[in-house]
Amino acid sequence: MELKGKVTVVTGGAVRVGRALTLALAGEGCHVFIHYGRSAGPAQQTAAEARKLGVEAHIHRANLAEAEETQSVIPAAVERFGRVDILINSAAIFPEEDSFSTTDLSLWEKLFAINLRAPFLLSRAFGSQVPAEGEGKIVNVLDARLRRPAPDHFVYRLTKGGLWHMTEMLAHELAPRITVNGVALGAILPPPGADRSYLDSLAQTQVPLKRAGSAEIVADNVLHLLHHDFLTGVVIPIDGGQFL
């Protein structure tokens, strides 16, 4: 797919990995519709940086824990740009305390709403506005830890596992009009508040390549999935071999 001039929605596109994806797409000439939840200031800054790359950029707030607000995203982008060609589902939450024995129903519901229901609602709204003869692309941001089952981050894993499965299911369901792929991240960015040395020391002991990744490496792989029209149902692990 030629990316120049395409309209892209990036959820959680204001900060961290989402921001890198937004700017990489803008660098390819895509107009960007930046969804954010709480990061209003960073969303404005990211939009300003995207505009410097010569594309149109708009921001849109929606709490993805709320179905109605989630359902506002694609129609708002269509109102702005007339259509959406690419959807990147990057927004998610990753609670520290999330085990089989301690999780409670409200955390369960919040995680499923943000990490799985939102990509479902957005993908459906996205799919319904791609014309019968048009082409669209969805990329879901997953987690490479799913390659190695373990009981940590119990509900989070279930939601990302569901999204991984949904990636493959929708690759069937939406073909041939729309391709659906994913990137599964390992040690890419330290948790908010921690610095890079946290990831570097983790990488020394846990990552076969003995280094952490970066948001730019994620963006390169997403661009690869978007450029190549014969890829669908593909999930690229970006984890330096950590979860082999």
Ligand X SMILES: NC(=O)c1ccc[n+]([C@@H]2O[C@H](COP(=O)([O-])OP(=O)(O)OC[C@H]3O[C@@H](n4cnc5c(N)ncnc54)[C@H](OP(=O)(O)O)[C@@H]3O)[C@@H](O)[C@H]2O)c1
List of residues contacting ligand X (CB under 6 A): 12, 14-18, 36-39, 63-65, 90-94, 114, 141, 143, 185, 187-189, 192
Which tokens is 76 given? Answer: 């708002």
Residue 66 Cβ, how far from ligand X at the closest point, in Å?
8
Residue 67 Cβ, how far from ligand X at the closest point, in Å?
12
* Closer of 16 and 83 to ligand X (Cβ): 16
Residue 134 Cβ, how far from ligand X at the closest point, in Å?
27
Contact at 8 Å (CB) between 185 and 143? Answer: yes
Find the angle CA(124)-CA(15)-CA(138) to the nearest 5 degrees.
Answer: 25
DSSP 144: G
Contact at 8 Å (CB) between 18 and 42? Answer: no
Annotated active-site residue 156? The verdict is: yes
Cα–Cα distances in Å, from 128 out to 22, 84, 177, 226?
23, 10, 11, 19
* Closer of 1 and 93 to ligand X (Cβ): 93
Residue 29 Cβ, how far from ligand X at the closest point, in Å?
23
* Closer of 7 and 139 to ligand X (Cβ): 139
* Closer of 92 and 130 to ligand X (Cβ): 92
Q: Where does residue 12 rank: exposed (0-12), middle (13-18), buried (19+ CB within 10 A)?
A: buried
Active-site annotation holder among 36, 156, 164, 243: 156
Catalytic residues: 156
